[in-house]
Amino acid sequence: MSKKEEFKIFVTTHPELVDYVNNDNMSWQKFYDMYALYGKDNEIWDKYFNKKSVSEKERNTSFSDIFETIKNINPDELQKNIESINKALGLLSAFTLKDTKKEEYTPRPLYKKFED
């Protein structure tokens, strides 16, 4: 198996590297050069893999964290904020919604001319 094929397998097992390339932080050539020089088990890869695991931890909040956040919400403050938002939306809708009353169309009688 060639070094290039080994690198492709390495990348498929570590999809974190794709994020670095997509964000223009690194290029595939630089990653391949590092792979060719240091191999797949070197500690140089730790900084690229640990960053992903931290973001996974941030995304995986537990139920207890969510419950703790909800428990710390002050219901009175929440009610005041909802009322303020409701008032602002009411004012905004009053400005944007025009009175849509339309005058009924009454056709001109056929026997009358325009200047009558």
Domain boundary among 17, 41, 59: 59
Instruction: Please give the Cα distance from 52 to 71 (Å, whole number).
Output: 30
Is 13 within the bounds of a domain? Answer: yes
CB 17 within 8 Å of CB 11: yes
What 56-59 contacts at long range (C-beta under 8 Å, 24+ apart), as own/partner pairs, is none
Is 99 within the bounds of a domain? Answer: no
Domain that holds residue 23: 3-59
Longest CA pairwise span in the chain (Å): 98
Predicted local confidence at residue 82, as pLDDT: 93
Number of domains the chain contains: 2
Please tell me which of 20-24, 29-33, 107-111 the model is most confident about, judged by mean pLDDT.
Answer: 29-33
pLDDT digits (tens, 9 = 90+) for 26-82: 888 888 888 888 888 888 888 888 654 444 555 566 777 888 888 888 889 889 999
Instruction: Please give the Cα distance from 14 to 32 (Å, whole number).
Output: 13
Instruction: Please give the Cα distance from 81 to 92 (Å, whole number).
Output: 16
Is 103 within the bounds of a domain? Answer: no
Is 112 within the bounds of a domain? Answer: no
